[in-house]
Amino acid sequence: HKQVKKICCLGAGYVGGPTCAVIAYKSPNVIVTIVDLNKARIDAWNSDELPIYEPGLEEVVKSVRGKNLFFSTDVDTAIKEADLIFVSVNTPTKKSGVGKGYAADLGYVESATRHIAKVAESDKIVVEKSTVPCRTAQSMRKILESNGKPGARFDILSNPEFLAEGTAIRDLFAPDRVLIGSLDTPNGRAAAASLADVYANWVPRKQVITMNLWSSELSKLAANALLAQRISSINALSAICEATGADVDEVSYAVGLDSRIGPKFLKASVGFGGSCFQKDILNLVYLSESLHLPDVAEYWRQVVEMNESQKRRFTQRIISSLFNTLTGKRLAVLGFAFKKDTGDTRESAAITLIKYFRQEQAKIALYDPKVEESQIWFDLAEPGVVDDVTALKKQVQITSSAYEAAAGADAIVICTEWDEFRDTQLDYEKIYATMNKPAFIFDGRLILNQKKLEKIGFKVECIGRSRLEESFE
């Protein structure tokens, strides 16, 4: 099989950027060019301020950029020169038309594929890196075969990405597994072997697994569906805990010791966010419906519904604790990113919660250590509402520290589990002194020591833990 010497990646986003930067870092003999249509994004990758934040990313990029890692908007040249092309473009949920709200919008994948067909002059291995519905590789193959130049042959692989934002570099350095799907033909297997060799620069061979294309595509959707399902399951249990006096952290610890269940990814919270879980489950729902499997579709749909219900329930708890009204009250919202150690806000629970708080006429003081101010206004503005930002700015203030957000507040709402919000890092006595009394804390991420804060004087409300506890003793 062919040795890969030049790689091109279409899409310099959260996946394409870190993934291909790590490939370059770990494979000094391979030249990697990451391209994007978005010039601002490419400029940022070439600057000191990378467009995305991930612990460890900057070191990786800066050590190989200009050596065997390049960022460019010259898509044509990068495609022409590459032996292997990753398609790592966005696949958002469709906003209109057939499958609206569920199906993946494959427009970006298709146009990237057509671009490859149009400019490629020699054989290419085309790799689906984006998360796509089952059998997308088939569509890509048809597009490439019917539009490609004579003499250029295309092999399609599926190589879904399992990195988690916030730990992307760690995940890429030591993946649980690398999955490569190919057609079960000599050409397909040879292409898979070429890609496997690239990963073999740093991933143990036995962790690079190969299988058929459709299994590989479905495995990515399945992994995200199962991960999200765990969160919705523990969140559903958290509701029972709050109503009974059980403590969800204790329940999670107890059940996690069962080796069949395991302890990871069992933390109750205000709900999952991020660009992938909801999108990929809805995609699976759509797939199930198209395959005439309504019960299967309904099962997975419920995972997303439970996530929405968790946010509503948390909001309801805040309202009832604050004497049934939020009108004019100041809520210090700590955290806006969908999880810690990322500046990504896509589908962040904080966006939904702030929307609910605004509907209750609360005043919001928001602080996040990483998210850009412009991103926050963008996420909170309601599309189509005239001059919404003026109205928004009357209700929402962005502050530059947790202390500033909490000053004069009636309640603190923890939305993101940033380490700096922990009671070992923030001076909660100082915060307490500046707040209206009774001073409430709503811990949506279970990161605080409830007893310690109650000693200071806070009224503390945690997901999955009731204040009925005393009456059960």
Return the active site residues. 276
What is the pattern of x (binds ligand NAI, CB under 6 A) and - over residues 272-311? ---xx-----------------------------------
Stretch of 83-91, 95-103, 247-255, 381-389 lying at the interface with ligand NAI (CB under 6 A) = 83-91
Verify binding: residue 216, ligand NAI, rule CB under 6 A. Answer: no
Q: Applying CB under 6 A, which of residues 33, 68, 88, 450 lies at the interface with ligand NAI? A: 88
- Cβ-contact 318, 330 below 8 angstroms: no
Out of 4, 7, 8, 11, name the contact with ligand NAI by CB under 6 A: 11
Is residue 15 near ligand NAI by the rule CB under 6 A? yes
The DSSP code sequence of 422-469 is: STTTS-HHHHHHHS-SSPEEEESS--S-HHHHHHHT-EEEETT--TTH
Which residues, including other chains, have CB under 8 Å from residue 322's CB and lie 6 or more apart? Answer: 329, 410, 411, 440
Q: Where are the beta strands (DSSP E) in 376-428?
A: 396-398, 411-414
| 334 belongs to the binding site for ligand NAI (CB under 6 A) | no
**Number of residues counted as binding ligand NAI (CB under 6 A):** 28
Say how many CA atoms lie within 13 Å of 59 toward its Cβ.
6
Strand order in the sheet with 6-10: 69-72, 31-35, 6-10, 84-87, 124-128, 154-158, 178-182, 208-212
Residue type, 101: G
> In angstroms, rounded to a whole number, what is the distance separating the alpha carbons of residues 4 and 84?
7
Q: Applying CB under 6 A, which of residues 64, 106, 112, 203 lies at the interface with ligand NAI?
A: 112
Please choose, from the candidates 293, 298, 313, 411, the residue with its C-alpha nearest in 3D space to the C-alpha of residue 356. Answer: 313
Footprint (CB under 6 A) of ligand NAI, residues 38-57: 38, 41
Q: Which stretch binds ligand NAI (CB under 6 A): 32-40, 142-150, 388-396, 438-446?
A: 32-40
- In this structure, are residues 50 and 13 in contact, taking their beta carbons and an 8 Å threshold? no
16 among the known binding-site residues? yes
Question: Least distance to ligand NAI from the beta carbon of 92, Å?
Answer: 8
State in angstroms the smallest separation of the CB of 184 from ligand NAI.
25
Strand partners, 398: 366
Residues 21 and 71: their CA atoms lie apart, in Å, by: 10
Residue in the structure block whose two tokens are 């570099």:
169
194 sits near ligand NAI (criterion: CB under 6 A): no
- Residue 166 as a binder of ligand NAI (CB under 6 A): the answer is no
- The answer to whether the annotation marks 20 as part of a ligand binding site is no
**Alpha-carbon distance 308 to 270, whole Å?**
9
Closest separation in Å from C-beta 301 to ligand NAI: 19
Length of the chain: 473
Q: Is 34 in the site for ligand NAI (CB under 6 A)?
A: no
- Is 269 marked as a binding-site residue? yes
Binding site for substrate, by residue number, is: 161-165, 220-224, 260, 267-273, 338-339, 445
Binding interface with ligand NAI (CB under 6 A): 10-16, 35-38, 41, 75, 88-91, 108, 111-112, 115, 130-131, 161, 163, 165, 275-276
Binding site, by residue number, is: 11-16, 36, 41, 89-93, 130-131, 161-165, 220-224, 260, 267-273, 276-279, 338-339, 346, 445
